[in-house]
Amino acid sequence: MRMDFKNLNQEQGLDGSTQELEEGALESRVDGGGGLGENRESSVFLRADKIDFKTWDVQLEKHLSRAWSRDTEVHSKTEEWEIDLAKLDIRNVIAHGTYGTVYKGVYDGQDVAVKVLDWGEDGIATAAESAALRASFRQEVAVWHKLDHPNVTKFVGASMGTSNLKIPTEVPCAGSCNSLPSRACCVVVEYIPSGTLKKYLIRNSRKKLAFRVVIQLALDLARGLSYLHSKKIVHRDVKTENMLLDSNRTLKIADFGVARVEAQNPRDMTGNTGTLGYMAPEVLDGKPYNRKCDVYSFGICLWEIYCCDMPYHDLSFAEVSAAVVQQNLRPEIPRCCPSTFASIMRKCWDAKPENRPEMDEVVRLLEAVDTSKGGGMIPDDQARGCFCFRPSRGP
């Protein structure tokens, strides 16, 4: 800061004009882009003992707010995926999740699923949590809106931080969503009527699935993941609960909340992301990972599709985590499982990521499986299914 030492004794009239001079000096410096002491063209000199620094703080805040507003206006321009909320009619609740609620609705005459997420402005979330919510939302939209594949749920559009969502108050809702956020973001995707793959497998847990159906579902999932990996996208939460079935039993991958573009350096991708039971050993162990973590999760899904059962249902989360990493624990493959299919499972859930096949290779392996002779969990001579399960589990 520059001071006029020659005029230290000329205090007359300075008090009345100090604030005006301060504001003028600050404005000229901030708008001009220079530092607070770098405006060489200004001839304004102020006595340090006469400056009201609180006024400077107020003025600086005003200028920063003005700059922030201009920046916000730039970023608030309509994105190509932004939906017209006037065309969105939200109906009933489909499901509740950790990060929001999913509703069935209609958008521009099309049945859709609407995933509503808190925008982080409820006054409860910390600044860091709010930032994480918004970053997760932007990430999901960035991943999803450019995808186009028959085995990936079709993205319709999204809306960021809006207060104009019209959610009927009479919609039945659990206690966790009694109070809707004042501002929310939503992702709108095609509505898949038949629910999740997990629910489908639970419904068939007694009679099991015909082997041709097992291979069809496995191929749908493999093709969808192969497509994602070709776009450098790692899903990171591959599980039967995140797969949907349409009315033709076509499988579609959904929920890209934790998906991300694969880093060129695997060391840039770390952290426990996913669901225990499906998580690869390197993810559980906090080591760097890549798209091969999806291949591991796919292998667990293959077992689940074939057996119509849950892996490790008799173990706690802590036990699963430790045993998968330290003891190479895997679900036990039934003896009646065809060797070609069992071999694909084992390759996919290999402990070493580099030994796991790429998903396009998995597609070729599954396409080569012969389903003409059966081989599912319904042996020809056993009406009640396969009896080859044992209580012990191992790789």
Tell which wins on pLDDT, 185 or 301.
Answer: 301
Mean pLDDT of 214-218: 97
Q: How confident is the model at residue 51 (pLDDT cuts 50, 70, 90)?
A: low
Nearest one of 171, 183, 194, 192 to 118, comparing CA atoms? 183
pLDDT at 348 (0 to 100): 98
What are the C-alpha distances in Å from 98 to residues 57, 75, 106, 118, 383?
41, 28, 24, 11, 40
**Least confidently predicted of 183-192, 261-270, 357-366:** 261-270
For the chain, report the end-to-end CA distance as a whole number of angstroms.
71
Domains and CATH numbers, the chain: 5-75 (no CATH), 85-190 (3.30.200.20), 197-367 (1.10.510.10)
Rounded Cα gap, residues 84 and 88, in angstroms: 7
Question: What's the CA angle centered on 238, arms 359 and 227, to 5 degrees?
Answer: 35
Does the pLDDT value for residue 394 go beyond 70? no
Does the pLDDT value for residue 356 go beyond 90? yes
Q: Which of 118, 220, 237, 294 is catalytic?
A: 237
- 3-class secondary-structure state, position 221: helix
In the numeric block, which tokens belong to residue 221?
């999932």
Q: Is 108 a catalytic residue?
A: no
Q: Name the DSSP letter for residue 353.
A: G
pLDDT at 185 (0 to 100): 80
Rounded Cα gap, residues 91 and 103, in angstroms: 7
* Sign of the C-alpha dihedral computed for residues 330, 331, 333 and 339 taken in this order: negative
Phi-psi bin for 274: left (phi > 0), alpha (psi -120 to 50), beta? left
Nearest one of 152, 344, 154 to 251, comparing CA atoms? 152
Rounded Cα gap, residues 316 and 319, in angstroms: 5
Nearest one of 237, 285, 232 to 259, comparing CA atoms? 237
- 3-class secondary-structure state, position 346: helix
Nearest one of 50, 57, 49, 42 to 14, comparing CA atoms? 50
pLDDT at 387 (0 to 100): 45
Tell which wins on pLDDT, 241 or 183.
Answer: 241
Tell which wins on pLDDT, 130 or 231.
Answer: 231
Q: Is the pTM of this model over 0.85?
A: no
- 242-271, pLDDT tens digit by residue? 999 999 999 999 876 554 555 444 444 445
Rounded Cα gap, residues 362 and 219, in angstroms: 9
Does the pLDDT value for residue 165 go beyond 60? yes
* Sign of the C-alpha dihedral computed for residues 70, 76, 80 and 86 taken in this order: negative
